[in-house]
């Protein structure tokens, strides 16, 4: 069954990973589909701890959804062994009425060359001219056919072939530079899987995907423009993702995408397992910062408490375990900066904002100068006008904001002076609802 990939944004956080897992499980529970959760990058320590706590594996890594040869409805013609004589090969062409080139393989199924009906006919016509004239036409034909193998007749040099994992962009480019009627397709073991012609490139099948916890191209997977988006489930502002046809979009002003997924379970009258309920509760606690984030709503709180009953674990215990395991402070600065990093275009300004949430920010802030140096390098590498790093402290209920760029904009946005590239913002825990809107108001 054709797979449908379900995934969240790049630099995945707990909410995006859990939402992908839970959404795929819900769709599969309804039946009639093959929904596969995926991630677009390495998961952070907090997410790894949550998955381990409730017994879930990390979803598979998805690097791109560009159309590949395996997505095409290519031909699977009969295959001719190189040891077969010309008569056997001719019979295959005749019985299957196949007029294209047919792959010739060795005994292990690996490509030896390509053979056409014309190759056989040309050899037979030339051979008949020097065949014993005492034979009748039928016997002469049989004698000629038995005298040569398909391996000798086929074209084995400079054969243009493709692999199942090759991307359509590359295939089109190579086909434009050649003039063959068909091209062999090989699998990962170099064995023949089928043949491809120009006709198959006209209406290629696209990979099917569901986006959760994001709807902006810059935050999504490579090749998204070549995929068929079936659905978007999110709790962020509307971005720039475009679709070729109408799709289901569920975007609600809640603190967590997991809250929406949990509601979908109720609507479908499907009760999540205790483990899945615990996973969803952890995602809500993570994205709402234990209900302290201004993005948190009563719906988030009520949903988490309902999930608490299903999983049988107190929310306080889940939260304490999750945030205690959330950070490896020994990791390099770039890894920590990008553990939850998003790009934004605000009123013509291109910026990057990372966020790291912990129970006690003291140890992390000892490395502030190291982070600022890394942020400056990232700004130069990606042409960001500004890079911000929110180090959010759950116990202090606020964030220290590190600033690389025009600090005056930040000072004006929050009414607090930036000193040595840093400023503490009490009560600020949300990038989406507090930092981004404040900056937008300054630039907009």
Q: Are 8 and 15 in contact (CB under 8 A)?
A: yes
249-279 pLDDT tens trace: 999 999 999 999 999 999 999 999 999 999 9
Domain with CATH 3.10.310.20 in the chain: 333-443
Which CATH number applies to 333-443: 3.40.50.10490, 3.10.310.20, 3.20.20.70, 1.10.20.10? 3.10.310.20
388, 371, 376: which is closest to 423 by C-alpha?
388
3-state secondary structure of 211: strand
CATH number attached to the domain at 4-67+207-324: 3.90.1640.10
Greater pLDDT, 284 or 242: 284
| Paired tokens of 424 | 């503490």
Residue 33: pLDDT band (50, 70, 90) is: confident
CATH number attached to the domain at 71-201: 3.10.580.10
Annotate 222-247 with DSSP letters as a single string.
Answer: BTGGGSEEEEEEESS---S---SS--
Q: Which run of H or E residues covers position 308? A: helix 298-311
Burial letters 117-136, b for 16+ CB under 10 A, else e = bebbeebbeebeeebeeeee
Domain with CATH 3.90.1640.10 in the chain: 4-67+207-324
If phi > 0 it is left, if psi is from -120 to 50 it is alpha, else beta; for residue 12 that is beta
Domain with CATH 3.10.580.10 in the chain: 71-201
The model's pTM is 0.78
119-178 pLDDT tens trace: 888 887 877 766 665 556 677 667 777 878 888 888 888 899 999 999 999 999 988 888
Q: Are 333 and 365 in contact (CB under 8 A)?
A: no
| Paired tokens of 24 | 């795929």
């Amino acid at each position: 069954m054709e797979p449908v990939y379900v995934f969240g944004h790049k630099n995945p956080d707990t909410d995006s990973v859990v939402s992908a897992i839970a959404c795929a499980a819900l769709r599969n529970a309804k039946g009639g589909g093959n929904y596969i959760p995926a991630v677009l990058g390495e998961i952070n320590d907090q997410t790894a701890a949550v998955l381990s706590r409730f017994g879930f594996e990390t979803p598979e890594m998805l690097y791109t959804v560009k159309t590949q040869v395996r997505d095409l409805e290519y031909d699977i013609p009969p295959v001719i062994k190189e040891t077969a004589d010309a008569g056997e090969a001719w019979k295959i062409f005749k019985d299957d009425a196949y007029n294209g080139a047919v792959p010739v393989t060795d005994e292990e199924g690996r490509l030896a060359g390509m053979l056409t009906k014309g190759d056989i006919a040309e050899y037979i016509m030339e051979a008949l001219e020097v065949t014993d004239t005492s034979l009748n036409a039928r016997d002469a034909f049989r004698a000629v056919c038995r005298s040569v193998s398909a391996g000798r007749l086929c074209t084995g040099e400079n054969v243009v072939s493709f692999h199942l994992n090759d991307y359509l962009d590359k295939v089109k480019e190579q086909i434009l530079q050649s003039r063959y009627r068909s091209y062999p397709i090989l699998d990962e073991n170099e064995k023949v899987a089928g043949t491809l012609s120009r006709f198959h490139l006209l209406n290629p099948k696209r990979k099917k995907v569901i986006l959760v916890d994001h709807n902006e191209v810059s935050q999504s997977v490579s090749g998204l423009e070549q995929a068929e988006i079936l659905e978007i489930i999110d709790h962020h502002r509307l971005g720039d993702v475009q679709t070729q046809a109408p799709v289901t979009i569920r975007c609600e002003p809640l603190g967590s995408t997991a809250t929406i997924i949990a509601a979908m379970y109720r609507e479908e009258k499907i009760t999540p397992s205790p483990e899945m309920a615990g996973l969803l509760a952890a995602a809500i606690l993570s994205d709402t910062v234990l209900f302290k984030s201004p993005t948190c709503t009563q719906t988030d709180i009520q949903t988490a408490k309902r999930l608490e009953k299903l999983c049988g674990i107190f929310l306080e215990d889940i939260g304490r375990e999750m945030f205690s395991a959330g950070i490896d402070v020994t990791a390099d600065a770039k890894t920590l900066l990008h553990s939850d990093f998003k790009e934004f275009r605000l009123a013509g300004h291109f910026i990057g904002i990372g966020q790291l949430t912990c129970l006690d920010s003291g140890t992390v802030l000892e490395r502030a100068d190291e982070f600022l140096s890394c942020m400056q390098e990232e700004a130069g590498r990606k042409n960001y006008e500004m890079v911000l790093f929110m180090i959010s402290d759950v116990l202090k209920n606020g964030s220290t904001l590190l600033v690389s760029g025009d600090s005056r904009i930040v000072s004006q946005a929050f009414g607090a002076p930036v000193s040595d590239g840093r400023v503490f913002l009490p009560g600020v825990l949300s990038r989406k609802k507090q930092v981004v809107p404040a900056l937008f108001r300054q630039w907009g």
